[in-house]
Structure 1
Amino acid sequence: MTNANKDVIDRIIIEIVNADASNTFYIDNLFAPTIPPNAPTPNRAFSPSPASIEWWWQDNSSGASQEDEFRVYSSTGGLLSTRTADTTFWIETGLKRNKEYARYIQAYNTAGSSNSATIIWRTKPGAFQAKSAQSEPTRTGANAFGFVGDAVWDWNVPVKSGSALTITAYIRYNSEYGGSATKPKLTLSGGGISPTSASATSSAENAWELLTINPGTPSQNAILTLKAEGFSTNPGAKFYIDDISISQ
């Protein structure tokens, strides 16, 4: 037998016939892998919603080490999903908002298995556009950027070196956030500056408060990160950011 296609042949049947008897022999797994698959390489994670994460990986096996399937595990070793050979992603659903999850991918065949490095990603915090038509607080426009009470959210801020940088934004939180909870804040960090934060005060409860961040003059061209953080886990807690202004 030549030029056999291992993808379409599952069993070879050999029948030997002589004058006295007929005997049939079956040969299975003729093309079973002889080498464990290579470990897949995690290459992307993405949270399309507060309840889901897409886990992506690179398939590094073929030929004698071809995987039979991929298995997605939690960081504690619990099997979460089994994916067919050559699949390179899985969408996990039913997750909690604003929570960090860790997963690793296993390539498996009958000769063995190999595990990827662990991937860590956080689900979206449940940010929303708060519309005045829904009786949510607004400032100058139709929308304020709103968050659940313990959210973490980032914006990219491109800056240039040699010019003083100032960022202002308005912040407020609702009564459900709770006066005893750590107040929401904005933090600017990245290359060429020292991390600088500004926190809301009690004046921001149900009223807009202006925050100002003065990190000085960046020492290099960079894309900085402006992070909004809330710290209340009270039911119904929300805070809002609006009118972010970047001056340089």
Structure 2
Amino acid sequence: MTLIYPIASNAAHPPRLSPAYKSTVKRSPQKPLIPMRHTLSELTGPVYGHQTVRENDHDLTIQHKGEPLGERIIVHGHVLDEDGRGVPNTLLEVWQANACGRYIHVVDQHPAPLDPNFTGAGRTQSDANGYYKFVTIKPGAYPWGNHHNAWRPSHIHFSVFGHAFVSRLVTQMYFPGDPLFPFDPIFNSVTDEKARLRMISAFDLENTRPEWALCYRFEIVLRGRSATPMETK
């Protein structure tokens, strides 16, 4: 993954090698990285996916014939630069487990039901002020085999694109008050406590839709001292 923005201190972003997160031991680089110069096509295009974002791609609850099971939620916020200015026309993609903590993926075989009405993937584009919104189902926790009785906190993966596919930042959004935070080595690979808190969404009562969906706000800051922690591999 290529980062397109200068980012905050190393403590604010997870390192490539986090021994408690066991898979990083095998996949993290053992030698100094070799910078590879990008070609013109990598730097200028194609503008990955912007032209194919459809009107309702942001709503993960209406992609199939029936309604998905689980708690409907709204997730919204802004894509911001280091000065708090909205970044317009930014492509955002999300992917997540269903309400039972199951992904639609051949590797995910843990004994929780799949939901035929929930694929767990969506996309949208920020408006002129950098604002975005998704409608989805609150994901469940799931076991992941990293250590004894290992469970991941409920989370949604976010992918933020620049002007080409290689210009991409990836992070995870968590939910407030999750009891699994102290036990999750991925969440805790961000060693700066203030930075970890920036990965946790805020409950947003004002934008909750009565009798329909709760709402969470998640601001994504691309760079600077208040940058949202991003995966650096």
| TM-score of Structure 1 vs Structure 2, range by shorter chain | under 0.3
TM-score by length of 1: 0.26
Larger radius of gyration: 1
Greater fraction of residues in helix: 2
